[in-house]
Structure 1
């Protein structure tokens, strides 16, 4: 007899940003998959991103450092789990390069891009390991920060 997985209440562990962006999904996806563009949009200003190394494919690494305006540094390591060109990117910090388990697992993120009325429905979902981790991320400014990042992403997409 095998144990059946229990369905969790997604609202207890998920944070969602859902926006209609005035840019083609192909351009938004291109920016997400080109690490050289991250310093221009990936963090709310005056925060910056540096030392970006990404290999956008299932199992490929995602590595960068977020730098604060007062010199703080927050290294981020993870892997991509799923990549569907121009439609979806799934990544996590639960593993680092070569599928090595992370000691700092926090979330799995899914970003989707869908055509909608000549624009793109952009949806970023952060699924956390626990309600406490979700609450911590929300308190850190998930909605404001990820919203600013979406706005910066949209602005850059309009320029390319």
Structure 2
């Protein structure tokens, strides 16, 4: 890791995507925290975001509903924002609903905590996304779902979208 992280990721349970992107930290923050921006880049195309709700406060909701190319809706659940520091860090989890209420964790539950870490790097941003899972099985499932490719493609789309707004 080249970015200074607030903790050491556990390779058995955590997935990490780290890159430098050619947009300022404020743009990355806006893309992650404004539902109208997030809808344009969050899902790798040809998927899209049909619905997004973000209540930007600890205990607030982080909710997205994805839409397949065939029109099938896939709710991602009502996650809970755990922590935020403007233009630096956004942390949310699928293990809680808004207001820190625990979710029921049945056999099919897909629980993880996401850390989006943003820091200035020249005219761009050092971007680190970490998905923490309760166990190795959860990490493997997320990896097999295409974490690196999917989250990497979404990041490319974030940069493309935010740059297009500036021109």
Is residue 129 of structure 1 aligned with residue 134 of structure 2?
A: yes
Segments of 5+ residues of structure 2 without an aligned counterpart are: 1-7
Residue 5 of structure 1 is matched in structure 2 by: none
State the match for 2:100 in structure 1.
99
Shift of 1:71: 3.0
User: What is the CA-CA distance between 1:132 and the residue it aligns to?
Assistant: 0.4
Distance 1:124 1:32 in 2: 12
> 1:99: Cα distance to partner?
2.0
Question: Cα deviation per residue 1:76-98 (whole Å; 9 max; x = unaligned)?
Answer: 21011001000000000111123
- Could you say what the CA RMSD is over the residues aligned between the two structures, in angstroms? 1.5
TM-score, length-scaled by structure 1: 0.90
| Distance of aligned partners of 1:9 and 1:81 in 2 relative to their CA distance in 1, 3 Å threshold | closer
Structure 2 distance, partners of 1:39, 1:106, is 22
Q: Is the 8 A contact 1:95 1:105 kept in 2?
A: no
- Please list every run of 5 or more consecutive structure 1 residues that lacks an aligned counterpart in the other structure: 1-7
Matches within 5 A, 1:4-83: 10-76=10-76, 77-83=78-84
Q: Distance in 1 between matches of 2:92 and 2:17?
A: 16
CA deviation profile, 1:42-94 (whole Å, cap 9, x unmatched): 00001111221110111111112111122332212101100100000000011
Query: What SS does the corresponding residue of 2:71 show, helix, strand or coil?
Result: coil
Task: Indicate the residue corresponding to 1:139 in structure 2.
Answer: 144
Q: For residue 108 of structure 1, what is the aligned residue in structure 2?
A: 113
Question: CA contact under 8 A between 1:41 and 1:156: conserved in structure 2?
Answer: yes
- Please report the TM-score for the alignment, with normalisation by the length of structure 2: 0.86
Q: How many residues align?
A: 153
CA gap of 1:105–1:99, structure 2 versus 1, over 3 A, is: farther
Cα separation, 1, equivalents of 2:75 and 2:126: 29
What residue number does 1:87 align with? 88
Cα deviation, residue 101, structure 1? 1.2
The structure whose Rg is larger is 1
Higher alpha-carbon deviation: 64-73 or 48-57:
64-73
Distance 1:72 1:142 in 2: 21
Residue 16 of structure 1: how far off its partner (Å) = 0.6
